[in-house]
């Protein structure tokens, strides 16, 4: 698998329902990679649920503003859905963009993984081309 993007995410706020298993996690961060370098715009949110069987699901949506591999300014939207069934969290990102150079990513089969970030309160998301 080839790495497309690495996202360094800082968690801003976690909103949870009392007694329920639903959280909304607000975040910001940076994107780097051979195809795009940029910033995650305000409004990024990850909705996580703990299901009856104890597994977790997530659905994150965010927009990145940056420069594509040709140096053109662009926007990239990512919808990243996943489920953790005990073997680690694997996600299926879907991408939309206004960059002609990155349009091919809209039709690629992508996979994401999540790991602990370098700083406290941070995570790293790695999106790969299958």
Determine which of 17-21, 26-30, 35-39, 61-65 has the lowest per-residue pLDDT on average: 17-21
Joined tokens for residue 111: 């996979």
Joined tokens for residue 16: 């949870």
Please tell me which residue, 60 or 117, carries the higher pLDDT value. 60
Average confidence (pLDDT) over 82-104: 88
- Above 70 in pLDDT, residue 72? yes
Fold of 2-129: Porin (2.40.160)
Domain ranges of the chain: 2-129
Average of per-residue pLDDT values in the chain: 91
Distance CA 18, CA 62 (A): 26
Residues 85-95 pLDDT 10s: 666 778 999 99
Residue 86, pLDDT score: 66
- Do 55 and 32 meet the contact criterion of CB atoms below 8 Å apart? no
**Quick one: residue 12, left, alpha or beta (phi over 0 = left, psi -120 to 50 = alpha)?**
alpha
Distance CA 28, CA 8 (A): 9
Average confidence (pLDDT) over 61-88: 91
């Amino acid at each position: 698998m080839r790495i497309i993007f690495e996202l360094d995410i800082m968690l801003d706020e976690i909103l949870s329902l009392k007694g329920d298993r639903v959280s909304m996690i607000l975040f910001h961060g940076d994107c780097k990679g051979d195809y795009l370098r940029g910033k995650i715009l305000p409004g990024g949110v990850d909705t996580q649920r703990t299901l009856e069987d104890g597994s977790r699901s997530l659905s994150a949506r965010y927009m990145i503003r940056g420069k594509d591999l040709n140096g053109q300014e662009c926007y990239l939207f990512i919808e990243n859905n996943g489920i953790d069934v005990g073997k680690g969290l694997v996600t299926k990102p879907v991408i939309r963009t206004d960059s002609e150079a990155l349009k091919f990513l809209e039709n690629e089969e992508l996979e994401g993984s999540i790991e602990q970030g370098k700083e406290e309160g941070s995570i790293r998301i790695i999106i790969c081309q299958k």
